[in-house]
């Protein structure tokens, strides 16, 4: 499932701010639906109505927060530039030569 | 929270926690109900026969007809699945300080008619004495009790107010 939603690119996952926002959204949705369902179930004396409304809140929060909607991708992680391989070799060889000098 | 599956897991777990809280709250809204009701039990045609129990022992067996009036509508609320009503006959004999015999019961599910007015019903279960002391017994107390079966929470056992004391004749009926 992850592969379908993230076809080789990290821009299709929720970033860290997006994950926090998603958590806040689904908690708020489920708690509001639970409160409304509790009052409605008490009013019509059917606890099963409370459970149905909570289930609706579950479904809605799944739709809102499961997929990586654009709203959860507004703060992408900025990675460092890829370091060139030849440069890395140069730096390591330079270090080695320094060490040799010191040991002498 | 970084993948779809872990978010689905978190949402599901959170929903279940909220559901548990709601269920407990539902119980708390009804935890302090008295579940009481006024009832009237009438009886007629008391007879006692000398009979044998299914185990072959000779024992007195009582018979009578019941009439029952009970308005149990106000007991039902959103945390009641059904009521289990039962009538017990209680009396003292030489062998036992307390005899308790369930002679009738009834289940009232949610939504069924709960304002009972039963004119003449036969007792449902055989009323055997433990021995032969029922003849001439004059202080057999009939009590209507009920269990309130809830969606969540405790299972209260309520004893109805309005006992009926009955007596049995001094002669066996053949």
From the list B110, B100, B97, the residue with the least C-alpha distance to B145 is B100
pLDDT > 70: what percent of chain A? 72
List, in order, residues 6 or more apart from B165 with CB less than 8 Å away. B139, B140, B141, B142
Is A19 close to B10, i.e. CB distance below 8 A? no
pLDDT over 90 (residue A36): yes
How many residues make up chain A in this entry? 104
Task: Give residue-wise pLDDT tens across range B20-42.
Answer: 999 999 999 999 999 988 888 98
Whole-structure pTM value: 0.77
pLDDT > 90: what percent of chain A? 54
pLDDT over 50 (residue A7): no
Task: Give residue-wise pLDDT tens across range A69-102.
Answer: 999 988 888 888 888 877 666 666 666 666 666 6
What is the pLDDT averaged over residues A9-26?
86
CB-closest option in A22, A46, A57 to B78 = A46
B-chain CB neighbours of A53 within 8 Å are: none
What is the pLDDT averaged over residues A2-27?
75
DSSP-assigned beta bridge partners for residue A83: none
CB-closest option in A26, A47, A61 to B26 = A47
Given CA atoms A18, A20, A25, A26 in this order, what sign does their dihedral have?
positive
Nearest 5°: phi and psi at B113? -65, 125
pLDDT over 90 (residue A22): yes
A-chain CB neighbours of B25 within 8 Å are: 38
Residue A4 pLDDT: 47
Q: Within 13 Å, how many C-alpha atoms sit on residue A43's CB side?
A: 6
A-B CB pairs within 8 A amount to 70
What is the pLDDT averaged over residues B48-56?
91
pLDDT over 60 (residue B65): yes
A34 close to B (CB below 8 A): yes
B-chain CB neighbours of A19 within 8 Å are: 1-2
Token reading at A80: 């460092």
Residue B83 pLDDT: 94
pLDDT over 80 (residue B89): yes
From the list A79, A37, A30, the residue with the least C-alpha distance to B7 is A30
Is A19 close to B2, i.e. CB distance below 8 A? yes
Given CA atoms B129, B135, B137, B140 in this order, what sign does their dihedral have?
positive
Residue A86 pLDDT: 75
Is B15 close to A2, i.e. CB distance below 8 A? no
pLDDT over 80 (residue B107): yes
A59 close to B (CB below 8 A): no
Give the ipTM. 0.79
What is the pLDDT averaged over residues A53-65?
96
pLDDT > 90: what percent of chain B? 66
Residue B98 pLDDT: 93
Q: Within 13 Å, how many C-alpha atoms sit on residue A63's CB side?
A: 6
What confidence tier does B86 reach under pLDDT thresholds 50, 70, 90?
A: very high
Given CA atoms B118, B119, B125, B128 in this order, what sign does their dihedral have?
positive
What is the pLDDT averaged over residues B135-164?
90
Residue A99 pLDDT: 61
B10 close to A (CB below 8 A): yes
Give one word for B136, left, alpha or beta, with left for phi > 0 and alpha for psi -120 to 50. left
What is the pLDDT averaged over residues A54-64?
96
């Amino acid at each position: 499932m992850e592969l379908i939603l993230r076809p080789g690119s990290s821009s299709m996952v929720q970033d860290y701010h997006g994950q926090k926002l998603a958590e806040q959204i689904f908690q708020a949705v489920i708690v509001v639906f639970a409160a409304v369902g509790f009052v409605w179930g008490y009013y019509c004396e059917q606890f099963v109505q409370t459970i149905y409304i909570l289930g609706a809140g579950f479904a809605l929060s799944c739709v809102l927060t499961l997929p990586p909607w654009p709203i959860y991708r507004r703060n992408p992680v900025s990675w460092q530039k890829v370091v060139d391989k030849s440069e890395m070799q140069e730096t390591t060889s330079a270090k080695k030569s320094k060490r040799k000098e010191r040991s002498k | 929270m970084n993948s779809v599956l872990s978010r689905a897991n978190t949402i599901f777990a959170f929903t279940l926690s909220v559901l548990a809280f709601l269920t407990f709250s539902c119980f708390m809204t009804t935890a302090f109900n008295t579940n009481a009701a006024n009832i009237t039990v009438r009886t007629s045609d008391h007879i006692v026969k000398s009979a044998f129990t299914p185990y072959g022992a000779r024992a007195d067996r009582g018979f009578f007809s019941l009439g029952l009036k009970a308005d149990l509508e106000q007991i039902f609320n959103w945390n009641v699945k059904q009521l289990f009503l039962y009538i017990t006959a209680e009396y003292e004999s030489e062998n036992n300080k307390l005899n308790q015999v369930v002679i009738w019961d009834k289940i009232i599910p949610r939504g069924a008619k709960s304002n009972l007015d039963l004119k003449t019903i036969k007792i449902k279960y055989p009323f055997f004495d433990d021995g032969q002391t029922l003849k001439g017994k004059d202080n057999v107390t009939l009590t209507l009790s009920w269990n309130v079966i809830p969606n969540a929470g405790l299972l209260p056992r309520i004893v109805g107010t309005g006992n009926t004391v009955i007596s049995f004749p001094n002669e066996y009926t053949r």
